[in-house]
């Protein structure tokens, strides 16, 4: 066998090994992501109940989003979240029913309404978020700062790609 043929065969084997290794990595990633999503749902439900006993996980996520973007039209929430218009409308109605958000006139267009957190909604959410941040910091005490930064960067990349 010629030297060129040996090199080519080693390259083909390495390619197959890379494919097998990449597939295993993808399966590991999928499994861990599934675990993370399950835990996130559980945590979300728990945090939602702390904000208000009648709050569900999906509405809690919308409340977080509204908190981050401030007063906004419901149509903009639909656009930013990619959720269905009827879903956003239902969740906003539920949040308003619980006294966590309110609809206010849009100062730039008297016909339009903005959705914003009420003082109660802001206070309850701030308290829950503060507690959650403390819990997260406690979980990461053993992590070097550089690992937290890298993990955050990779999560941002994943969120962007998704």
| Residue whose entry in the numeric block shows the structure tokens 């509405």 | 59
Q: Please tell me the number of Cα atoms within 13 Å of 9 on its side-chain side.
A: 6
The per-residue pLDDT for 111 is 84
- pLDDT score, position 70: 81
Q: Which residues are CB-contacts of 118 (< 8 A; sequence separation ≥ 6)?
A: 99, 100, 101, 102
Q: What pairs with residue 101 in β-bridges? A: 117
Q: What is the CA radius of gyration of the chain?
A: 23
Q: Is 116 helix (H, G, I), strand (E, B) or coil?
A: strand
Contact (Cβ atoms closer than 8 angstroms) between residue 127 and residue 49: no
Angstrom distance (rounded) from CA 72 to CA 2: 70
Question: What pLDDT does residue 3 have?
Answer: 53
pLDDT of residue 162: 80
pLDDT score recorded for residue 7: 46
Record the pTM.
0.72
User: To 5 degrees, how large is the angle CA 148–CA 149–CA 151?
Assistant: 65
State the DSSP H helix or E strand holding residue 101, giving kind and residue range, or none if neither.
Answer: strand 101-106
Residue 11 is predicted with a pLDDT of 55
Residue-by-residue pLDDT tens, the chain, 162 positions: 555 545 445 556 667 878 999 999 999 999 999 999 999 889 889 999 999 999 998 899 899 999 998 899 988 989 888 889 999 999 999 999 999 999 999 888 878 899 999 999 999 999 999 999 999 999 999 999 999 999 999 999 998 898
Q: Do residues 81 and 92 lie in contact, with contact meaning Cβ atoms separated by under 8 Å? A: no
Domain annotation for the chain: domains and CATH numbers: 3-155 (1.10.10.10)
Those residues whose C-beta lies under 8 Å from the C-beta of residue 94, and which sit 6 or more positions away, are 55, 56, 59
């Amino acid at each position: 066998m010629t030297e060129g043929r040996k090199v080519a065969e080693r390259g083909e084997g390495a390619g197959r090994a890379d494919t097998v290794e990449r597939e295993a990595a993808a399966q590991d990633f999928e499994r861990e992501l599934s675990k993370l999503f399950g835990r996130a749902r559980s945590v979300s439900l728990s945090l939602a109940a702390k904000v208000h006993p009648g709050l569900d996980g999906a509405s809690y996520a919308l409340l977080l989003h509204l908190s981050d973007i401030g007063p906004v039209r419901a149509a903009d929430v639909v656009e930013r979240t990619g959720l269905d218009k009827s879903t956003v409308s239902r969740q906003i109605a539920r949040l308003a029913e619980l006294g966590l958000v309110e609809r206010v006139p849009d100062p730039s267009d008297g016909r339009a309404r903005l959705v914003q957190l009420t003082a109660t909604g802001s206070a309850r959410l701030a308290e829950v978020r503060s507690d959650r941040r403390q819990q997260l910091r406690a979980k990461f005490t053993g992590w070097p700062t550089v690992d937290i930064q890298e993990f955050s960067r990779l999560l941002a990349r994943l969120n962007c790609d998704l």
